[in-house]
């Protein structure tokens, strides 16, 4: 997979891949316009939405309704470093959701590919090249 990252102006940085453009910006206090999420916010959102796609697939496979299901993602940062130290994903289900599937939902959400990549991070190779 290849993405093209460009700079459309101000503090905006966009990623282009397939037929999609993912726009990012910085908040006003960070020199941007606040017109789009920050790259880091998108990174964090990818964790919850990745878990969500697995939960959705689990429910669809079993013909379980997804009405009333949601995932609450809570980010906990270190007091001194400010770095994310813990992420909680709470899968909220309605009372009508079969209790026999609660543990399986957790196991399913743990299959998230974003989470797995954080647990075994890739190597980064950053270079420069003069464009033609």
Residue 101 per-residue DSSP state:
G
For residue 17, the surrounding DSSP H or E stretch is strand 12-17
pTM of the entire structure? 0.89
Place of tokens 């770095």: 83
Place of tokens 């990012």: 24
Supply 127's token pair: 């270079």
Supply 81's token pair: 């470093």
pLDDT of residue 110: 96
CB 100 within 8 A of CB 125: no
Q: What is the rounded CA–CA span in Å between residue 114 and residue 49?
A: 9
Q: What is the pLDDT along the chain (132 residues), one digit of tens a residue?
A: 999 999 999 999 999 999 999 999 999 999 999 999 999 999 999 999 999 999 999 999 999 999 999 999 999 999 999 999 999 999 999 999 999 999 999 999 999 999 999 999 999 999 999 998
- The count of other CB atoms within 10 Å of the CB of residue 3 is 11
Sign of the CA dihedral with 48 first, then 51, 55, and 61 last: positive
Instruction: State residue 90 phi and psi, 5-degree precision.
Output: -110, 115
């Amino acid at each position: 997979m290849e993405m093209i990252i460009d700079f459309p102006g101000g503090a905006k940085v966009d990623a282009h891949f397939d037929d999609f453009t993912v726009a990012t910006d910085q908040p006003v206090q960070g020199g941007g316009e606040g017109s789009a999420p920050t790259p880091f916010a998108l990174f964090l959102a990818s964790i919850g939405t990745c878990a969500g796609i697995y939960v959705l697939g689990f429910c669809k496979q079993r013909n379980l309704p997804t009405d009333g299901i949601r995932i609450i993602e809570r980010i906990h940062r270190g007091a001194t470093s400010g770095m994310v130290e813990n992420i909680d994903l709470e899968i909220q289900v309605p009372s009508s959701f079969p209790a026999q599937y609660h543990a399986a939902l957790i196991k399913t959400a743990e299959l998230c590919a974003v989470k797995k990549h954080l647990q075994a991070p890739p190597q980064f190779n950053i270079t420069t090249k003069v464009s033609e």
